Chain A
Amino acid sequence: MQQALLIDPEKCTGCLQCEMACSYENYQVFNIAKSRIKVFNFEEAGRKVPYTCTQCAEAWCMHACPVEAIVLDGATGAKIVLDDVCVGCKVCTIACPFGTINYVQDSGKVQKCDLCGGDPACAAACPTEAITYVDANWTGLDKMRAWAGRTDTASQANA
């Protein structure tokens, strides 16, 4: 059974433990600027919103890649970037309508959430269960995916 990140902004306190954990997991440093999950702070509404890739079925980034550097991890369902193959052309960063694959100038490659190979560090680090890793069928991602369908230029390709 595949799992997915379930994000509940109601429970987020904005502590940024997820960003720290993501940065440490991937770069062995505590530097939230390197994190692949971002917590957005809506001050007026007093609301914090963690946000990252939903590993959408449309996989805009994967289909846009000119050199097959983004592939499906069959075990987790994550779309993962192969650093050795990525040339840094950034086409995926404008193809993904969710803005969740981004160019990193230091490395000259793009980065995105890869679900840490099935044990996401952000979910493990979250003290309030605002981020949990659950059965994919339970997540609230349907709403996002329904929205994705609106922008999908070829939504029935996956039907």
Chain B
Amino acid sequence: MKHLILGNGPAGVVAAETLRHSDTQCEILMAGSEDEPPYSRMAIPYLLEENIDESGTYLRKSPDHFDSLGISQLRGRAVSLDINEHQVLFQDGHSETYDRLLIATGSHPVRPPIPGIDLPNVHTCWTLDDARAIASLTKPGTRVLQLGAGFIGCIILEALANRGVKLTVVEMGDRMVPRMMTPKAGGMIKRWVENKGIQVRTSAGVERIDETEKGGPLRVSLNTGETLECDVVIVSAGVVPNIGFLEGTPLHVAKGILVNDAMQTSVPEIYAAGDVAEAPDLFTGAHLVSAIQPNAADQARVAAINMAGGQTHLKGVLAINVLDTLGLISTSFGQWEGVNEREGGSGAELIDEEAFRYLSLQFKDDVMIGATSIGWTEHVGVLRGLIQGQVRLGERKQQLMHDPTRFMAAYLGAAQAIA
């Protein structure tokens, strides 16, 4: 049995290891498109902050880790897939066959169609190569304009600020991290980073980027009429799944590759996991890309067990996020926006603007379905426990509506039954 894994990020690596654990005999070939050992993009901000060196980003620290597990590696980008011949063609012209295929090709950053987006001093921040370029371009005092204040943008933001650059952030949404944070929470993060000396423009888009002289500083024109001068533009306008090579195949694709709860695509011997996959959501069953490490690892384990002939199912994707914006720590879980009252929705929101503390808990009937927090680091994981466990809170729900800070007591009482 030959397993071919496209992608050597967290999903590819966890799948390869799980396959080996499940089947000591099978052939495992893992293909990565970058000229690096398997590494974690999550760690790039810490590389930019110079807290770690490049080896600190590696997913597995032992140099012979994959060899010792009998996992073969290949440098190559898949360009097409032939599902009849069970064959993947790579950019260098060679092909690999498979019995089972895992697509874990991840995602790539969007470059919005803005005039000037391809100028030399305009960069995305996604790969180790990008990180090297940004590190060489940004010194204390460098003027950096960052396009986008989503989840990834905010992680980079902290790293850039710690490099001592003069930073301006431009976000189309009306607040920071609009797809992860409630309006109050996104506003609080904005106020925090502004207090730390970062310029933030929300409800603003970049219309064009021009060089003031060849290879020199950039002039960025916003749709608000404002123009800003800077040395470097960093684009963090979101990511999209790497599915281009699937064109012409019958695989069902929406934003990402649609999979069932076994992480199987519409072609039975082909599986997908991680940022490239759209798996059913825990609550609604609607397909969802949840591009974060724990979900990639969970999906990869499920895919690999099934590829090896076992039977296991993902019990639904739960969107989870954690963010540190210059020392202000925020999380969001599940359906943090809540559901409306007609569907049994209710919520409690605690706002302490002065202390930069925030907590929103959302319920459907007596089950917690989502949460947002700022300034909480103790035991935040139980918010996941309560939500993913779909724990019936009974009378404890009313206590939480009255005082949401008592989520740990509710957890110990309702989920662990030890309080």
Q: Which residues of A pack against B, CB within 8 Å?
A: 9, 38, 40, 42, 45, 47, 49, 51, 60, 63-64, 66-68, 85, 87-91, 93-105, 108, 143-144, 147, 150-157
User: Which residues from chain B sit less than 8 Å from chain A, CB to CB?
Assistant: 10, 14, 18, 40, 42-43, 46, 51-52, 56-61, 292-294, 297-298, 301-302, 305, 310-312, 314-316, 320-322, 324, 327, 329, 331, 333, 377-385, 388-389, 408-409, 411-413, 415-419
Establish whether residues B56 and A87, one from each chain, have CB atoms under 8 Å apart when the complex forms.
yes
Question: A143: shortest Cβ distance to chain B, in Å?
Answer: 8
Bound CA span A93–B382, Å: 9
Q: Are B294 and A9 in contact (CB under 8 A)?
A: no
Complex: A49 Cα to B411 Cα, angstroms: 12
CA distance A42 to B414 in the complex (A): 13
A-B CB contacts (within 8 Å), total count: 155
10 residue pairs from A and B, CB less than 8 Å apart: A49-B418, A64-B294, A68-B58, A68-B60, A68-B61, A91-B322, A98-B381, A99-B380, A154-B312, A157-B305
B7 CB to nearest A CB, Å: 15
Instruction: Please give me the residue from chain A that is nearest to B407 by CB atom.
Output: A99
CA distance A103 to B322 in the complex (A): 11
A156 touches B385 (CB 8 A): no
> Which residue from chain B places its CB closest to the CB of A51 in the assembled complex?
B412
Q: Across the interface, which residues of A come within 8 angstroms of B409, CB to CB?
A: 40, 42
Whether A157 pairs with B301 at a CB distance below 8 angstroms is yes
Given A143-B416, A150-B389, 15 more pairs with CB closer than 8 A: A42-B412, A51-B412, A60-B294, A67-B59, A87-B56, A89-B322, A90-B322, A93-B381, A97-B381, A97-B385, A97-B389, A98-B385, A99-B383, A144-B416, A154-B305
Are the C-beta atoms of A66 and B419 separated by less than 8 Å?
Answer: no
Chain B neighbourhood of A143, CB < 8 A: 416-417
- Closest CB in chain A relative to B383 CB, distance in Å: 8
Bound CA–CA A96/B56 (angstroms): 23
Partner of A99, one of B311, B312, B381: B381
Expressed in whole angstroms, the minimum distance between the Cβ of B301 and any Cβ of chain A is 4
A94 near B305: Cβ-Cβ < 8 Å: no
Task: Give the chain B neighbours of A156 by CB distance below 8 A.
Answer: 305, 310-312
Contacts of B56 in A (CB 8 A): 67, 85, 87
What residues of chain B lie closer than 8 Å to A66, measured between beta carbons?
A: 10, 40, 42-43, 59, 293
Complex-state Cα separation, A147 to B413, whole angstroms: 13
What separation, in Å, do the CA atoms of A88 and B388 have in the docked complex? 24
Query: Within the complex, what minimum Cβ distance (angstroms) separates B207 from chain A?
Result: 34
> When chains A and B are docked, how far (Å) is the Cα of A152 from the Cα of B56?
29
Q: Quick one: given A42-B409, A156-B311, are A95 and B384 in contact (CB under 8 Å)?
A: yes
Chain B residues within an 8 Å CB radius of A94: 294, 320-322, 331, 333, 380-381, 383-384
Instruction: Report chain B residues within 8 Å CB of A105.
Output: 327, 329, 377
